[in-house]
Amino acid sequence: MAEKSIDHAFMATSLTSSATDPTFAGALSFMRRRFTKVLTGADVVVWGIPFDAATSNRPGTRFGPQAIRRASAIFDNDPQYPFNRDLFAEMAVIDYGDCLLDYGNHQETPAAIERQANTILDSGAFLLTLGGDHYITWPILKAHAARHGPLALVQFDAHQDTWLDDNRRIDHGSFVARAARDGIIDPDRSIQIGIRTHAPEDFGIRILYGHQVEEMNAAEIASAIVSHTKDAPAYLTFDIDCLDPAYTPGTGTPVAGGPSSAKILSVLQRLQQLDIRGADVVEVSPPYDHADITAIAGATVAMYMLGLRAERHAAAR
């Protein structure tokens, strides 16, 4: 036990050091990364937004960041599958904690999220956000677009989220419509994967419906995504309800007929060519989860996002 340590989240001596905490113990940052508000030296920032006031059905995603962090403890410090590398050997990743929000003043929420996102992005770090309901993607997209221009939105979801609103509504089902209308995303380069509902508008965004995803293999889905975005700067958002409720029961608006976690993880693994400028995992709702099934899926999706970033980081060196 002499080589072992615990509470790496606040005892780490380096941002690229490996953790040796027991899976069942220790401070639960995301993948045992150092908890800090110091952005200096960070290549990637993991950030939680515990917000669920925009949900249209079952609440509970305010507990999502906690659950995803807890589930991420299952990732030990062997090379992470399927990337076969220590993600943190050369890529400095911190856990920035959570966004501070006033639960009694929801109209202030979007500005608060955007302001705090801007602070992180000003450091030059890549931002990986843990939600929270899907409304949080709206102010985060704005912060990214301010730096990169209109983004190709790559959205894994059961819902289009293109319902129209009055620009003031706090609603997790309208952020894509708003982003398309305001020039935050480029609809011609954006794509939605796993959609199993209908909305009045699609804004010209390409859709791979649930039945199409079922008929395609992972390589075909990934190829469709990469070819459609055409090297545009992309934002990757993953609503956990993209997956079938058999794999992610802990979510607010589950829709039957979705793909398996294995299939979609295989898709994510193949997205190395995407120029991903930011990413999030949203809609994990622990009160409806069982045995951390959904939280484990969410943590794994987030780990794959870090894996893609680690590969890109290594290739740039």
Q: 221 falls in which pLDDT band (50, 70, 90)?
A: very high
Bigger pLDDT: 55 or 194?
Answer: 194
Query: Number of structural domains, the chain?
Result: 1
Give a yes or no: residue 161 inside a domain: yes
Write the CA distances from 17 to 83, 91, 92, integer angstroms. Answer: 18, 10, 9
Binding site per annotation, positions for Mn(2+): 134, 157, 159, 161, 239, 241
Does the pLDDT value for residue 1 go beyond 80?
A: no
The pLDDT tens digits for 121-134 are 999 999 999 999 99
**Residue carrying structure tokens 């966004």:** 99
Give a yes or no: residue 2 inside a domain: no
pLDDT for the residue numbered 300 = 98
Calculate mean pLDDT across residues 186-210.
Answer: 97
Give a yes or no: residue 278 inside a domain: yes
Q: What is the CATH number of the domain that holds 42?
A: 3.40.800.10
Does the pLDDT value for residue 26 go beyond 90?
A: no
Give a yes or no: residue 35 inside a domain: yes
Calculate mean pLDDT across residues 45-50.
Answer: 98
Percentage of the chain beyond pLDDT 70 is: 99
Calculate mean pLDDT across residues 180-202.
Answer: 96
Give a yes or no: residue 280 inside a domain: yes
Bigger pLDDT: 78 or 82?
Answer: 82
Mean pLDDT of the chain: 94
Cβ-based neighbours of 142, under 8 Å, separated by 6 or more: 114, 184
Give a yes or no: residue 3 inside a domain: no
Compute the distance between CA of residue 304 and CA of residue 315 in angstroms, rounded to an integer: 17
Helices 64-71 and 293-316 cross at an angle (nearest 10°) of 70
Full domain range(s) for residue 296: 8-316
Q: Vertex 109, ends 156 and 233: CA angle to 5°? A: 40
Cis amide bond preceding 131, omega within 30 = no
pLDDT for the residue numbered 3 = 67
Cβ-based neighbours of 166, under 8 Å, separated by 6 or more: none
pTM: 0.95
Does the pLDDT value for residue 315 go beyond 90?
A: no
Compute the distance between CA of residue 247 and CA of residue 262 in angstroms, rounded to an integer: 10
Calculate mean pLDDT across residues 147-154.
Answer: 98
The pLDDT tens digits for 288-304 are 999 999 999 999 999 99
Does the pLDDT value for residue 2 go beyond 70?
A: no
Calculate mean pLDDT across residues 186-204.
Answer: 96
Calculate mean pLDDT across residues 47-55.
Answer: 92
Give a yes or no: residue 247 inside a domain: yes
Lowest-confidence segment of 34-38, 129-133, 167-171, 229-233 by average pLDDT: 167-171
Does the pLDDT value for residue 20 go beyond 90?
A: no
Give a yes or no: residue 1 inside a domain: no
DSSP state of 147: H
Binding site per annotation, positions: 134, 157, 159, 161, 239, 241
The pLDDT tens digits for 87-125 are 999 999 999 999 999 888 888 999 999 999 999 999 999
